[in-house]
Amino acid sequence: MTTTLALALILHVLTGLGGVIASYAAWIGLLKKTPRIDGLQRWGVVALLSYVASWLTGGYYYVVYYGSKVKPVILAGKYSWAHTVLTEAKEHFFLFLPLLAAVLLIVLITHRDRIGTDPKLKRPLVYLAALATAIGTAAAVLGVFISGAYRP
Amino acid sequence: MTWNDFLTITHIIGTALGVGGATFAEIFYQKAIADGTVDPTEGAFLRTTYRILRIGMILLVLSGFGYFLLFRLEDHGSRLYSEKIWAKLTIVALILVNAILLELRKIPYWLGSSISITSWYAALILGTWGRRGLSYFLVIALYVAALIVVTAGLELLRRKQAKGRVRTT
């Protein structure tokens, strides 16, 4: 693996984790009785940027290296389900993350005055942040499984 | 210093902060409610302790994923399928879910604090266990047994403290 690819993989994992931590922080912040909107917006920005960075670096790694070098090894090994089930699932639901983070941030910016007072707005935002955290966590766990299946 | 050394140090610091934070969160909480109310100073101590706990958690998770990256980049993929690692990941996930349930007040404090303390100590013990093999189900069974013992122990302490409070009033 070249240094650029190793760097892409490292950035993919670290920025993905950053995104999960940021959406988790936004989720917990939204659960408070009086959410601090400035703090939530900062977490929203971090989540969006992190997920976009993870998307791009993960995409680069997948297209340039995974498909031609890693995938055939996994498929030939005894954990072929790691690709046929896990990677196939991950590469679809992971696409939602930047979009969910973008929606969260846009609402936090455009409706900042209503979030603390309007439960009809706050509740869906809580679910949105929770969903982003859950999908991000699932993507991270699947990533560990997929990497563990690669036995060159 | 190698990456492995760096990750080990970070992982140990994260675990130490988490174990210490969970322990002192319980001690400070017991001290704070001894008189029936949590005053502002006691509240400030508790908030600081919870912040330390969160820092420990972040360090633990980041260094844990650092190990994952290192194993992947060095082609030691088989280590990622260690049952001990998955048992530890399950326990760390429990710490996170428990923190959310406590924040939402969807779990009674007595159970939430027991899960927090037991999970942090379990993560510490698993971390020091080295590469000796442990089955996933054995670790989880031992964890559940420890959780029952810790919950009972803390409940006894609380009852003893409540009795003392009744006597002094």
Higher pLDDT, B159 or B120: B120
| Cβ pair B69:A9 closer than 8 A | yes
| Cβ pair A9:B81 closer than 8 A | no
Residue A134 in this model has a pLDDT that exceeds 90:
yes
Nearest CA to A151 out of B159, B93, B77, B127 is that of: B77
Full-model pTM: 0.83
The pLDDT of B48-70, averaged and rounded, is 90
pLDDT per position as a tens digit, A22-44: 999 999 899 888 889 999 999 99
* Residue-level pLDDT at A99: 95
Single-letter amino acid code for the residue at B41: T
Higher pLDDT, A46 or B42: A46
Rounded to whole angstroms, how far apart are CA atoms B83 and B137?
9
Cβ A66 vs Cβ A145: under 8 Å: no
* Residue-level pLDDT at B169: 56
Which residues touch B84 (CB under 8 Å, ≥6 apart)? B126, B129, B133, B134, B136, B139
Residue B9 in this model has a pLDDT that exceeds 90:
yes
Look up residue B78 and give its DSSP letter: G
pLDDT per position as a tens digit, B94-152: 998 898 888 788 899 889 999 999 999 999 998 887 767 778 999 999 999 999 999 99
Assess A1–B contact: CB distance below 8 Å, yes or no.
Answer: yes
Assess B39–A contact: CB distance below 8 Å, yes or no.
Answer: no
Cβ A12 vs Cβ A66: under 8 Å: no
Check: complex ipTM more than 0.90: no
pLDDT per position as a tens digit, B18-34: 999 999 988 888 888 77
* Residue-level pLDDT at B166: 64
Assess A66–B contact: CB distance below 8 Å, yes or no.
Answer: no
Chain B CB contacts of A144 under 8 Å are 68, 80, 89
Residue B167 in this model has a pLDDT that exceeds 70:
no
Rounded to whole angstroms, how far apart are CA atoms A146 and A140?
10
Residue B55 in this model has a pLDDT that exceeds 60:
yes
Rounded to whole angstroms, how far apart are CA atoms B110 and A62?
46
Positive/negative CA dihedral, B2, B12, B92, B89: positive
CB count in 10 Å sphere of residue B47: 10
pLDDT per position as a tens digit, A51-75: 999 999 999 999 999 888 888 999 8
Share of chain B above pLDDT 70, in %: 96
> Rounded to 5 degrees, what angle do the CA atoms A128, A16, B54 make?
75
* Residue-level pLDDT at B30: 84
Single-letter amino acid code for the residue at B17: L
